[in-house]
Structure 1
Amino acid sequence: MKKLMKISRNIFMSMLTLVFFSCAENLLEKEPVSSFSAQGFYKTSSDAQSGVYGIYDAAQSAFSLNFSLWGEGRADAVSTNQSGDPFLLQENNLNPTLNSARWDNLYETISRANYAIKYVPPVFEEGEEFGLQLVGQARALRALCYFYAVRVWGDVPLILEPYESVQQDLFNTRTDAETILDRMEEDLLFAAEHCRASFGGERDRNLITQGGANALLVQLYMWRGEYTSAIAAAEKVMDNSLYQLVSINDWSKIFTQGYSNESIFEIGYNEVQTNSLRVLYALGSDSNFFPSESFRNSFEESDQRQALIYDVTAAQPRKIWKFFGEGFNDESPDPSANNIVMVRLADIILLKAEAHNQLGEVDEALALLNTIRARAGLESLTLNSAQTLYGNLETAILHERSIELCFEGHRWFDLVRTGKAMEVMGPINGLSQEANLVWPLHQDAINRNPNLVQNGFYD
């Protein structure tokens, strides 16, 4: 899945992508379809598979840097010495020219998914399993992109058909976020039913399986506060034999080697198709982010993860070891070939704990929370000790997520989802208005589309 190839583009759709998308050039495994009119391409099952692999390739570009800028840059676990997006995000001085305010790569991925969703089915007999599996992957990847778009910008254009004619309306208005999440749920339920249960080996981790679709459903349901549905989806993931928590001795390998038994879905990279993990976390004083003082001070004693995440002997650690290994000291600015883990079992376990707590099922919540704590070498919490340490069980679970999932792109969304963003970030950077929780639309998008209206806080 990590073998990469290049292909050319159709001139017509290249013109359209100047309006809406920024196209990636490197593609996964087989030669996949780029953004072009696909009417004459999808003829065989191999063509269909290549088209779907092209969606994964676009996702590589979409999340290479932004998984962290969107998920960590505005939160409390990181600090920065850098200018540009890292500094502006930390200071809560967002503006419409931020690179992280661009949605081009997300919509490029959505565009490729729309082609596959339309043109894969006619290649196969109605109801043929392989065709349904491919469409399931395409719909899940489209849902993943829209999930990020909604959480970053709120209402965004909902585009469900490929662009194939200049007669189509290129200037979409924004769609209510809840309507988009409804459609995301439909896509993920389809994927959970029709994707393969297992591909075997590494492909179970970097292709969307039934488990991956169910895990994304857990995240969606928790974002919407649908706790019973989140628990049901989480149980499907936790009952899946593909996924087990690794031991603390192998915890670093989740990120440094990839494809662990704990991983549910990760975006694959290699020495050809690379990402920005080194720039984000590994270049010492030149990296985008390093562990904040408040984050370093939030660890409980005897937490075995701490020394695996950063240099605990440094007065001010300037790099994050988590993705590269304890003692990592290579300050090369070269791009990284490490995979980006988008969702893993510990994430789902802690979300399930949170859902049980929201429903008043304290014993179930504590049992799940303590499963993650035990791996880290920490004592089990009772309701009383959780209240003593963290004020309440909800905060104890959120704190555990901040440690276990640190720098993986979850913290900002956790703060927004739980209504804690202003409480936590207000004293740090003055965040005080709900309208400020979303990003501004990039000025280029506003300039190119007269039907787009800027988010009110930035207007």
Structure 2
Amino acid sequence: MKSKYILIGTTAMVLLVTSCKKFLDQTPISTPTDATTWQSDGDANTGVAACYSLIRGAFNASIGYYAYGDLASGEFSSSDQPDFQKVIDFNLGAGVASTATDNPLLKLRLWTPFYTAVAQSNRALFFISAMPTSVFTGTSDEERIARKNKYLGEAYFTRAFCYFTMAKVWGDVPLVLENNDATASQQYARTAKADVLKQAIVDVNLAIKYLNWKDNGSSDRIVRADKGAAYALLAHIDAWLGDYAGCNTACDAVINSGSYSLMPAASFMDIYKGQSQESIFEISQNTLAESYNAFVYYTLASQTLTSPYLNSTVPVWHVNNSLVTSLYTDTADVRFKKGFISVSSGATSFYECIKYTNIQTVNNNPTLKVALNNIVIFRLADIELLKAEALSAGPTADYNTALSLINTVRRQRNATPITGLTGAAVIQAVADERGRELFLEGHRTFDLIRLERVTKEQQFDNVSPGEFAAGKTYWPIDPNLFLNNSKLIQTAFWIGKVN
């Protein structure tokens, strides 16, 4: 299974660099092969594994997972790379030459990599549904049906995950659910984000129905979706929609499942090596076949790490020292003690986040290093703190339980419990704790968007309350996407503002 996963990942990455000639990018598994594949359990497994590989490729393009989720959140004060500085400044519509195909700002405005993953999910759902139960692995009809349902559940999960990601980043996006020869060339208008997320909830509930809880004996645990990953996704969708009652229920399903546990303080950094007892869902890249070259300029390692991990002396992305100082006031907190170091350049000192330092030298060649950290999407501390948000910001507030959840996490991190807070102070305490716990984990920008919706208080230095209400935090799409689709329109706030 693992070898097929790696093989399809290589294929997927080749497809992602293919130039986009249709609204949806080149299909991830070519139509002519569909008639000869999708014949066996192994075919279904390989087809579903491609969904995860394509998501990995979408997130790794111009460090997208962290650029969308962290770079504009205040975690970084500046960047030595001008186009990433524009993201920090929320200058998302800055001019980019159409010929600058490697420009990170241009890549971040393209949703085609995510639609490539959606297309593969659609293909998997279509063909696996049509496959006879008899071809799946199992010693009984019940086992073979469960095996088929597992693959269908994963395909529903990956499609829901892609649409949730795109709805957070761009708002309204085209909703494409069918799989046929005309899909790649058909023109689609943008679908209202509420309808996109409604479909994502339908999909994730089907994933919950079809998937089992974590199999601790599987080498693919955590990097393939299971029932816990589906419930975690549902909790985040509900929180994004402001449905805190639904969010609370989904969080409870994860917390009460007994499938996950918080890592002890001594092992906190093991979370980022991948597949820890705390993780719920990760994008796998902790093997040489899945990893990325740490020296490539547009990678997380190259932007955030210095010697002894890489050769640079100052991080390209400069951590916001003031934010780190204000968040981590407890000197015993292992999230600060183990997650950061201080580096200097002349009279200037920088904090450096070292969560992602699983760097390996290949063939004893110091000029060839690969980064082997998985992308941690959901983990138990995230879900416990999301439940705390639901309890403190929801219509029927339970501040005491919310504070108790905060302190459950803090105790595991050797941080002193917080006491004596109530009301809006607990809502802010939850946001701050998520900031400490999930620093540079792809959450803070979206956390602050939800916080501003609840408190109506400005959270972004470069987004005024009026701009926030007008949708400035949603990304524009690159004008090149209009060339083959006359039905597309620019993201509302950015109409007339993208050069």
Q: TM-score range by the shorter chain?
A: 0.7 to 0.9
Quote the residue 2:301 is aligned against. 278
**Residue of structure 2 equivalent to 1:197:** 213
Match of 1:122 in 2: 130
Is the counterpart of residue 51 in structure 1 residue 52 in structure 2?
no
Residue of structure 2 equivalent to 1:170: 186
Residue 36 (1) aligns with residue 31 (2): yes
Aligned to 1:290, the other structure's residue is in SS state strand
Mapped to 2, the partners of 1:130 and 1:266 lie a distance apart of 22
Correspondence for 1:377: 414
Q: Which AA in structure 1 matches 2:357? A: F
Separation of aligned partners in 1, 2:465 and 2:369: 35
Q: Which has the higher strand share?
A: 2
Of the three residues 86, 107, 113, the one matched with 1:105 is 113
Supply the AA of the counterpart residue of 2:252. E
Please name the residue that 2:486 is paired with.
450
% identical equivalent positions: 25
Alignment of 1:54-73 (within 5 A): 54-64=50-60, 65-73=63-71
CA distance in 2, matches of 1:147, 1:160: 14
The separation in 2 between residues aligned to 1:72 and 1:331, in whole angstroms, is: 30
Distance 2:343 2:44 in 1: 52
Give the Cα separation in 1 of the matches to 2:467 and 2:35.
47
> Runs ≥4 in structure 1, deviation > 6 angstroms?
12-16, 330-333
Distance 1:345 1:250 in 2: 15
TM-superposed deviation, 1:429: 6.6
Q: Alpha-carbon deviation of 1:431?
A: 7.4
* TM-fit CA distance, 1:198: 2.8
Asked whether 1:301 is paired with 2:301, we answer no
1:65-91 deviations in Å (ceiling 9; x for gaps): 211011011111113333343111111
Taking the aligned partners of 1:308 and 1:174, their CA distance within structure 2 comes to: 44
Output the CA distance in 2 between the equivalents of 1:243 and 1:310: 26
Partner of 2:397: 360
CA RMSD of aligned residues (A): 3.0
* CA–CA distance in structure 1, aligned partners of residues 433 and 111 of structure 2: 31
Deviation at 1:281, TM superposition (A): 2.0
Contact 1:212–1:264 (CA under 8 A) maintained in structure 2: yes
- Find the residue that maps to 1:234 and give its secondary structure: helix
Tell me by how many angstroms 1:422 deviates: 7.1
Moved more, 399-408 or 303-312: 303-312
| Distance in 2 separating the partners of 1:197 and 1:261 | 13
1:370-423 CA-to-partner distances (Å, cap 9, x unmatched) read 111112222222243x78xxx611000000000100000000011112226971
What is the one-letter code of the residue matched to 1:248?
A
Any idea what SS the aligned residue of 1:72 has?
helix
Corresponding residue of 2:271? 254
Over 3 Å counting, the alpha-carbon distance change for 1:311 and 1:151 in structure 2 is same
CA distance in 2, matches of 1:405, 1:117: 33
Q: Secondary structure of 2:354's match?
A: coil
1:179 is aligned to: 195
The 8 Å contact of residues 278 and 287 in structure 1, kept in 2 or not, is answered as: no
What corresponds to 1:433 in structure 2? 467
Distance 1:190 1:277 in 2: 34
Contact 2:68 2:442 in 1 (8 A): yes
Q: 1:86: which partner in 2? A: 84
In structure 2, runs of 5+ residues without a counterpart are 97-104, 135-141, 293-298, 307-311, 360-364
Retained in 1: the 8 A contact 2:452–2:459?
Answer: no
Q: CA deviation at 1:111?
A: 0.6
Distance in 2 between residues matched to 1:73 and 1:179, nearest whole Å = 28
Secondary structure at the counterpart of residue 437 of structure 1: coil
Amino acid at match of 1:376: R
Letter in 2 for 1:93: N
Q: Which runs of 5+ in 1 are unaligned?
A: 25-32
How far off its partner does 1:349 sit?
0.2
Secondary structure at the aligned position of 1:368 is classed as helix
In structure 2, relative to structure 1, the CA distance for the partners of 1:221 and 1:378 (3 Å cut) is: same
In the alignment, the residues of structure 1 paired with residue 129 and residue 259 of structure 2 have an alpha-carbon distance, to the nearest angstrom, of 28
In structure 2, the residue matched to 1:268 is 284
Q: Deviations over 1:103-156 (max 9, x none)?
A: 111111101000001110111339822111101101101111111100111100
2-structure distance, mates of 1:313, 1:18: 45
